[in-house]
Amino acid sequence: MTKLTRRLPSITLWQVIGICLLPLILGCPPPADDEGGSTGGEAGSTTTATDGDSQEEPELLLEPFDPPPLDELEASIEWEDQPVLDAMELYKKNRVENPPMVSVEEALALRNDSPEANEKILSTLGQPPASESEVDYDATLRRFTPLDIKSSNPILGSSVTEFEVADITSFGLFKFDWNFFPFADSDHVQSWQSSKDRMYDKVVLRDDLVWSDGKPITAHDVAFTFQTIMNPKVPVVAVRSGTDELKWVEAYDDRTVVFFHKESLATNTWNMLFPVIPKHVYADSMKEDPSLSKSDYHIQAEQTPVSGGPYKITGRVRNQEIILTRREDYFMKDGVEVRAKPYFKEIRFRVIEDLNTALLALKKGEIDDLELNPEQWDSQTDDDEFYQNNTKAYGVGWGHAYIGWNLEVPFFSDKRVRQAMSYALDHKEMIENICYGVYEYGRGIYHETAWMAPDPMPEAYHQDLDKAEELLDAAGWADSDGDGIRDKEIGGKVVPFEFTITIGNSSKTGIKICELLKSNLDQIGVICHIKPTEFTVLQQQARDHKFQAQCAGWGTGADPATGKNLWTTKAIEQNGRNYVSYSNPEVDRLFEQGEKEFDREKRGEIYGQIATILWDDQPYTWLYFRSNFFAWNKDVRGYMFSPRNPYGYAPGLMALWKPK
């Protein structure tokens, strides 16, 4: 074994301990997903979009298909009723089963300094109003967001903020609860049936649905949106994921839409969760501008978008604020309330990039919520100043942070090198000092509380520089010229092990972790450069695979099948989000098998196998599981956590309210 002199780090990591923030969520799966995702999600599988200025008729990413008449389908298919549910009623039932542990006054007086205090705060302040008379329906919810939206069109979304705005402004047929159980939304759907062989789904829409411009929402909007998403000229990387598993979507009349599936899969329901856009707004304009964003018409549509959800965008100042207003025509028809009235008259997303500034805004009462980083949770929100107007709570999160190794570059194509990188990092220093001990050690793609987690869970990596050096030696990276830097002959040239890791320039935690890795690698003869990069540039570099290593994070999808867009060979070939170009035939096979298995326990075993293989291959160095830490103004009620956060499920934000 080649032993190199382990040089002392140029800085002491104790000196750089500071704010801890998940670097970024690169295209977290949408809330139909993350994963997502939304669903994200925490992912999109698509062919690269072509020039949006083309005048040619769009060519769909679909096989020719002539849907049979509805009466023929009805005669040949055995239908089974599927759940059509009210998300708010599900939430209220859950709260009845989990009553408040203390009075509201006691909960507001508590300091969240223990699991017991956290449980009391959530059980009490997470309750719905006892009666409508308690609610201040004229109230405004002032939400924090670190990023502005690029687009107000829900099918063009790719960031967390865009999905959160779309979640309450766009129209869709399906939702899922905090346990990721999918159902048809009773606010929009009259009935939902699946064929016994799971090859068809039939949805009948309610007859009291209107867009914010007064036009009726129909099944034709649903079918049109599917065809738009499947247009290769429309840049919808995130939303196309899963939707491209559908064979066809046909509107048989204004209210009846049938989804035709390519295969009988356990994930077919998730593939129908795409947001719907109004056909009357885009049917003609997309022929001239399939980008849906470049023409004057589409630019105007971005500024005053037509909404199908309970809120509509009524104001927007770039990089400052997004203003949403409750739609009376959403919940009222001919003077009768046909859907529950949303609790807030107005929701304002205030864009604040700096978390210190955001915390100051929370303490001043300028925003009502804030996702806290570990330092803020640990030492900046424990005094009288904070608790005077605010409280805080946390929940287990399944999102994870990672360093991705691009397997297309010679440094990281060898599994032994990637494992060496994971052994080199001082994980204990990262968790206990940079992240203040409040995040959990990374142990792969699934949290141990997830139903698809491997059994047993892998042991977390801990720093072992001797092991790292052994692996690098075995992979042929040694110090051949005695200059203290490892090198290797590649293509007839001696190449030093010197690479660059990119990280979001606003992610102080990510930068500190990269600095820690840099100092660790310096001790074993590997040079690591750190390049803080603007968010959108970082995203594009990832999509183009133009990076060597990248520090980032993923939220959690609502179903583990969304991971196929991160880990399969197909995701590389179809420009998905397998940014590190990882390819393993066994992983490909298991993802296919997982979608075809309907038994949840057996599915969990399949995805657990995938997690175990990925852990051995280490295409990522998994850093930590990201717990969800949130602060709220004491006026806010109704919050409850899912493994995503308090918002990435139904009813999520719609359950929040303020008392009179």
Predicted local confidence at residue 59, as pLDDT: 53
Q: Residue 202 is inside which H or E element, if any? A: strand 200-205
Whether residue 422 lies inside any domain: the answer is yes
Please write down the HEC assignment for all residues of 337-387. Answer: ECCCCCCCCEEEEEECCCHHHHHHHHHCCCCCEEECCHHHHHHHCCCHHHH
Instruction: Say if residue 21's pLDDT is above 70.
Output: no
Structural domain boundaries enclosing 216: 48-84+125-369+647-660
Whether residue 349 lies inside any domain: the answer is yes
Predicted local confidence at residue 536, as pLDDT: 84
- Whether the link from the prior residue into 651 is cis, omega within 30° of 0, is yes
Total domain count, the chain:
2
CB distance 401 to 374 below 8 Å: no
Is the same domain home to 294 and 433? no
Q: Nearest-CA neighbor of 277 among 251, 308, 304, 302?
A: 308
* 37 pLDDT tier (thresholds 50, 70, 90): very low
Parallel/antiparallel/unpaired status of strands 332-333 and 498-504: unpaired
Is the same domain home to 619 and 652? no
Structure tokens at 200: 């068809």
Domain with 532 in it: what CATH number?
3.10.105.10
Predicted local confidence at residue 575, as pLDDT: 82
Is the same domain home to 356 and 425? no
CB distance 93 to 99 below 8 Å: no
Instruction: Say if residue 343's pLDDT is above 80.
Output: yes
Instruction: Say if residue 165's pLDDT is above 80.
Output: yes
Instruction: Say if residue 135's pLDDT is above 60.
Output: yes
Whether residue 347 lies inside any domain: the answer is yes
Question: Three-state SS for 12?
Answer: coil
Residues ≥6 apart with Cβ < 8 Å to 76: none
Question: Three-state SS for 155?
Answer: helix
Whether residue 91 lies inside any domain: the answer is no
Q: Which of 8-22, 66-80, 442-456, 628-642 has the lowest mean pLDDT?
A: 8-22
Across all residues in the chain, what is the average pLDDT? 90
Residues ≥6 apart with Cβ < 8 Å to 646: 395, 628, 630, 639, 640, 652, 653
Task: Give the pLDDT mean for 216-236.
Answer: 96
Is the same domain home to 362 and 460? no
Domain with 58 in it: what CATH number?
3.40.190.10
Task: Give the pLDDT mean for 115-141.
Answer: 97
Is the same domain home to 444 and 348? no
Whether residue 357 lies inside any domain: the answer is yes
Predicted local confidence at residue 370, as pLDDT: 98
CB distance 550 to 541 below 8 Å: yes
pLDDT in tens, 539-594: 899 999 999 999 999 988 889 999 999 999 999 998 889 999 999 999 999 999 99
Proportion of the chain above pLDDT 90, given as a percent:
85
Is the same domain home to 296 and 411? no
Is the same domain home to 404 and 350? no
Please write down the HEC assignment for all residues of 524-551. Answer: CCCEEEEEEECHHHHHHHHHHCCCCEEE
Whether residue 415 lies inside any domain: the answer is yes
Is the same domain home to 351 and 409? no
Predicted local confidence at residue 30, as pLDDT: 30
Predicted local confidence at residue 36, as pLDDT: 32
Task: Give the pLDDT mean for 131-140.
Answer: 97
Question: Three-state SS for 75?
Answer: helix
Is the same domain home to 463 and 548? yes
Question: Three-state SS for 575?
Answer: coil
Is the same domain home to 360 and 408? no
How many DSSP H helices and E strands does the chain contain? 23, 25
Is the same domain home to 412 and 333? no
Q: Where are the beta strands (DSSP E) in 84-197?
A: 84-85, 140-145, 174-176, 182-185, 189-195
* DSSP conformational letter for 328: H
Whether residue 636 lies inside any domain: the answer is no
CB distance 468 to 481 below 8 Å: no
CB distance 259 to 246 below 8 Å: yes
> pTM, whole model, 2 decimals?
0.85
Whether residue 263 lies inside any domain: the answer is yes
Is the same domain home to 341 and 427? no
**Helices 600-617 and 415-424 sit at what angle, rounded to 10 degrees?**
90
pLDDT in tens, 363-402: 999 999 999 999 999 999 999 999 999 999 999 999 999 9
